[in-house]
Amino acid sequence: MANTKSNAGTVEVDGTRYDWHLQREPQHTDADGWKGMTISLLQDDAKREALLEFPAPKRLLKGLPRGRHQIDDATIARGVRAALAAGWEPMSRGKPMVFTVDSEGN
């Protein structure tokens, strides 16, 4: 079932469960302009978090009003796989690792 209306959830990728939550909505800063949303990922019983940074939606860059973000399990699963492929080790210790992904979570 897709989590399109929720700001948090759990997704299973390759037999492992990952909890996720929306950490930051897109926001405008004077220094950087529009920054996209950020999703926090944490594997069950793991210590190290991953942060997925998505690009700002094109509608915001064009000056259109904000809309509801559509986050689904497939996008989160792609983000988990992208973070793991980029070197995220959930069982290691340390600061959260930040990964920039595209709008599809790749």
Pairwise CA distance, residues 91 & 75, whole Å = 22
Quick check: 8 pLDDT over 60?
A: yes
Cα separations in angstroms, 64 against 11, 54, 88? 31, 18, 35
pLDDT digits (tens, 9 = 90+) for 66-96: 555 667 889 899 999 999 999 999 999 989 9
Under 8 Å between Cβ of 33 and 80 = no
Q: How many residues does the chain have?
A: 106
Structure tokens at 14: 């390759």
Please report the pLDDT score of residue 69 as a whole number.
63
pTM over 0.75: yes
Q: State the pLDDT confidence band at 31, using cuts at 50, 70 and 90.
A: confident
Q: State the pLDDT confidence band at 50, using cuts at 50, 70 and 90.
A: very high
Please report the pLDDT score of residue 96 as a whole number.
92
Half-sphere exposure of 56 (CA within 13 A, CB side): 17
Quick check: 104 pLDDT over 80?
A: no
